Structure 1
Amino acid sequence: MSAAVVVLIVAGVLVMLPMPRDAAPAGDPVGDRITSADAPGDLSPADRPLRVIGYLPYWEQPEAVADVEANRGWLTTAAPWWYAPTRDGDVVEQHPEYTDTSDRVVERLRDQGMAIMPTIANHRDGEWDFEVVPELLADTTARARHVRALAELAAARDFDGIVVDYELLGADDRDNFTAFVTELADALHADDRRLGVALHAQRSDAGEGEHHRAQDYAAIGAAVDELHLMTYNQHYDGSPPGPIAPLPWVSDVIAYTLRHVPAHKVILGIGLFGYDWGGGPVADDLQLTHADTRIAMTGRTPRFDERSASPYLRYQRSGVDHELWYENARSVAAKLALVERHDLGGAFFWRLGSVPDDIWRTAERTLGDGS
């Protein structure tokens, strides 16, 4: 979950910009309030059963917007990764120097027929902040201010909803986090807007760490319209090498989730990135087009691990052994097949930008007709 670095050239000057690692319904319907039990096309630009969501990272926003434009007609929702919380409950831009939240960008996305649900994450100025959310949520005054600030932001910009991505909370934060999600859902639903919440993937109530015990799947699933399952990073940059989202693990996560959350609310996460382990304690975080370039430079042919349904390559560079795991069209297709198999509400892609076209064509064939 630590930050990597993006190299940008701004006005002819080389800039090293930190970027994040990929880690990553309360009550009955009242009147015309929106709940996830309503038709799945609520506030969606198209009346179709599946929600197909693309996360747009601020550090690669032009490329991500280009991905949206190239996939017009079947991507339903844009989730720009734009906002962060403060300890007193305000909402600020994650990285103002590099984040373009302008009306021009919003209208460009709307021109593609997409709903807009920007993301608020505990990530600011290129770094994860794992203290701000626990402090904020424990203060009921600050929490109420935060709920109000998010609802007012959505109304002022006429966003279709909000996605919350508060990561690596602790077990002590569980009740406060659930209360916040429920309160925010009520505030957004009162104004006919949606709430999505991204959760770490887990296979049991106990999970595998403190961050899992912060998540009450049943209570959060009851409050939200969309539960975004972060079904990736089973192996991550600081772990031993291995598949990022092995198919049996993803299936186990879905099985656990469906014991607590209605299937139509579950949005399956597809990680569009790779890791190259070798030469250091932390793997290189690779966008998929960069992974393809690195593979081509080795002159070797990747292999496909049938059990995990994941491509990988072992090679040497400068005398150092490397192991690269990533996603390709075949591995993405295997995971997307689970959406139909389990009748899930849809899928989201983390992240848009620098994604090979064959992956998009595979996803469109699987999801684009809404079946």
Structure 2
Amino acid sequence: MKIFPLVAVLSTACSLLTLSSPARAASPSISLLQQGSVGWSVSVMQQELRDLGYNPGSSRGYFNAQTAFALAKFQSQAHLQVDGILGPLTRRALIRALKRHYDYIRAPLGQGDLTYGDYGPGVVTLQGDLSQLGYNPGPADGVFNRQTGQAVMAFQAHEGLVVDEIVGPETYQALCHALGYSSEPVAPAPITSPSSQVSSSPWVLGYYTQYTPNSMSSQMSLAQHLHTISAIAPLWYTYRADGTLIKHGYHRSWVRAYAREHHIALYPVITNAYGNDRILTNQTLRQEIVNQLAAMAQEDGYQGYNIDFEGLNYWDERPLTAFVKALSEKLTPLGKTLTIAVIPRTAKDPYNRAYNYQALAPYVSKIVLMTYDYHDIGSAPGPVAPINWVNQAVQYAITRVNPQKIVLGLAVYGYNWASNGQTVEIHANQARALAAQYGVPIKWNPVSDEPEFSYQSQGMTHRVYFENGYSDAFKLQLVKQYHLGGIAIWRLGDEDHHLWTVLSRMGFSH
């Protein structure tokens, strides 16, 4: 799995869509959260306070006296007016505190929640969207100034949102909805019975990030396909060689609350900073990490973890197995389960010996085969997940592990290789647009069962190989043929929309 920044960004696709008539701006009216308030926004605020070390109480979604006390304590330490009320100033202070609390990485397209003082391409997109909707954010100069803030608050008031000048998940979604992009609400609809989520269909795990290079985000994809997705694996945690835990993504409060409301299992990804094996080979450090992860799973209500340790050598086989065994034995009494992502092996492949499927299987509920990047950004051009190689990897796995424990990794991307040595990641919609732009046909490769094409640009030859819903259908056939436990999508938000139609037709929906 490739690690990308965890940031919520406003989809650039929103600014490309049109409305039949622009919305009229309304006068902003500030919405506050205070003792007695109930609902989704309260639940998210309570989770944010917990993340910062405050105790808002066990009541979720109800603003009681203990929540007010915790918020007042935060206000005091943030040098704000201490009134136990969440208004615009306190909301901004919470966001600033969360950004400091977590390892916050900026994405190429901009930032996470946007508010006064921010700048960059994400603000340019925001300003363009607001202008298109009939508001007046000023020139699209990429600076979130007071005029942009007034336009944001006018839009929020018109949409019935909390008017706080902060463009967060709810405002992002409302903007896209107003532009005709999405009809799904951000806040979850009430679910009357948790049992309605139970399904015997194959497990569908979605790797979840807040930054994707294409026009969808993990958040939108999750909201639109709740009936299909069984679990998400957000990229939240990385261990350094000295055992320091790096926490990514200050938006986790929203994700946890959303997953809980919709009964979506949460398996945060644990990575090893690629190639770091000291956390495995040092027994004292290994046990400290096991204890820390177990406590965190209990405190934050995770269903377990997805271990994704890469860059390992053959001598890491036993330490990796020992780590997984120790963590599993710590999580099992808590009712938690462990999953692990592994670089696939085949009968002809002498590499990746750190992953001993038979030794790992007793301690995990699922083994995710990362059956992608057969050719990657650093290789010669070629198919990303050729079907014959994927088939060999599955056959190797099921002769060693119960097929129901095997989860097939689905690539939903590809690469564009240029003859000057530059390679960029590409997705199905981008690939189709490129082929149309240069007037070249997309060819189907019957050997790899994957689309490809070539084109000329500025004196260079480009070769493009990518996955789409049709190529992934061949992998889904393997899941059915070998009775595997399910699939894992790398990553939510990048996928071809057709993939969801294929999943539904093949019985992967709840």
* Distance in 2 between residues matched to 1:88 and 1:9, nearest whole Å: 31
Q: Where does structure 2 lack aligned partners over 5 or more consecutive residues?
A: 6-106, 112-117, 123-194
Counterpart mapping for 1:52-71 below 5 A: 52-60=204-212, 63-71=217-225
Following the alignment from structure 2 to structure 1, what is the Cα–Cα distance between the partners of residues 230 and 312?
29
Gaps of 5+ in 1: 16-42, 124-128
The structure with the larger Rg is: 2
* 2:279/2:286 contact within 8 Å kept: yes
Count of matched residue positions in the alignment of Structure 1 and Structure 2: 329
Q: Which residue of 1 aligns with 2:80?
A: none
After TM superposition, give the deviation of residue 328 of structure 1 in Å: 1.2
Q: Report the structure, 1 or 2, having the larger helix content.
A: 2
Partner of 1:296: 436
Equivalent AA in structure 1 for residue 309 of structure 2: Y
> Which residue matches 1:36?
none
1:357 corresponds to which letter in structure 2? Answer: H
Asked if 1:93 corresponds to 2:247, the answer is yes
Kept in 2, the 8 Å contact 1:79–1:116? The answer is yes
Report the equivalent of 2:270: 120
**CA deviation string 1:174-221 (max 9, x = no partner):** 1101110111111111211111100001103x7343xx0211111012
Find the aligned partners of 2:430 and 2:365 in 1 and give their Cα distance.
35
CA 198–53 in structure 1, closer or farther in 2 if over 3 Å, else same: same
Q: Does 1:141 align with 2:141?
A: no
Quote the residue 2:136 is aligned against: none
| Cα separation, 1, equivalents of 2:476 and 2:414 | 18
Asked whether 1:348 is paired with 2:488, we answer yes
Aligned to 1:214, the other structure's residue is in SS state coil
Q: Is structure 2 residue 186 aligned with structure 1 residue 79?
A: no
What secondary structure sits across from 1:8 in the alignment? coil
* Partners of 2:339 and 2:365 within 8 A in 1: yes
Q: Deviations over 1:275-306 (max 9, x none)?
A: 01113335211233333332332222201011
What whole-Å deviation, never above 9, does each CA across 1:40-77 have from its counterpart, x for those lacking one? xxx99523242110001243398101101111112100
Q: Among residues 92, 102, 113, which one is paired with 2:252 in the alignment?
A: 102
The answer as to whether partners of 1:137 and 1:176 remain within 8 angstroms in 2 is yes
Equivalent of residue 249 in structure 1, options 355, 377, 389: 389
- 2:211–2:218 CA contact under 8 A, matched in 1: no
Of all paired residues, the percent bearing the same amino acid is: 28
Distance 1:208 1:281 in 2: 28
The answer to whether the aligner puts 1:269 opposite 2:370 as a matched pair is: no
Query: Matches of 1:295 and 1:269 in 2, distance apart?
Result: 27
- 2:303 corresponds in structure 1 to 160
Q: Residue 277 of structure 1: SS of its match in structure 2? A: strand
Q: Residue 145 of structure 1 aligns to a residue in which SS?
A: helix
Alpha-carbon offset, residue 90 of structure 1: 4.3
| Cα distance in 2 between the residues matched to 1:57 and 1:164 | 16
Q: Does 1:361 find its partner at 2:501?
A: yes
Calculate the TM-score normalised by the size of structure 2.
0.61
| 1:47 to 1:90, Cα distance in 2 relative to 1, 3 A | farther
State the AA in 1 paired with 2:374: Q
TM-score (norm 1): 0.83
Change over 3 Å in CA distance of 1:191–1:198 after alignment to 2: same
User: Would you say the 8 A contact 1:72–1:113 is kept in 2?
Assistant: no
Alpha-carbon distance in 2 for matches of 1:278, 1:232: 20
Root mean square deviation of aligned Cα: 2.4
Greater RCO (CA < 8 Å, at least 6 residues apart): 1
Shift of 1:121: 1.4
Aligned partners of 2:287, 2:412: CA distance in 1, in Å? Answer: 35
Aligned match of 1:12:
119
Amino acid across the alignment from 1:13: G
SS at match of 2:211: helix
Pair 1:207-2:314 in alignment: no
Partner of 1:171: 314
Mapped to 2, the partners of 1:334 and 1:73 lie a distance apart of 22
On the 8 A contact 2:427/2:467 being kept in 1, the answer is: no
Structure 1 residue 358: Cα displacement: 1.3
Runs (4+) of structure 1 moved beyond 4 Å? Answer: 1-6
Amino acid at match of 1:53: L
Deviations 1:141-190 (A, max 9, x none): 10001111111111111011100001110112111011101111111112
How far the C-alpha of 1:230 sits from its partner, in A, is 0.4
1:4 Cα deviation (Å)? 8.1
Q: Could you tell me which amino acid in structure 2 is paired with residue 60 of structure 1? A: T
d(CA) in 2 for partners of 1:59, 1:244: 21
| Secondary structure at 1:152 match in 2 | helix
Contact map agreement 2:372 2:411 (CA 8 A) in 1: yes
Contact 1:58–1:100 under 8 Å retained in 2 = no
Q: Does 1:281 align with 2:421?
A: yes
Q: Do the aligned partners of 1:81 and 1:119 also contact (CA within 8 Å) in 2?
A: yes
* Inter-partner Cα distance in structure 2 for 1:246 and 1:237: 16
- Asked if 1 retains the 8 angstrom alpha-carbon contact of 2:442 and 2:451, the reply is yes
SS of corresponding position for 1:188: helix
Q: Counterparts of 1:149 and 1:283 in 2: how far apart (Å)? A: 39
Match of 1:48 in 2: 200
Whether contact under 8 Å (1:74, 1:368) holds in the other structure is yes
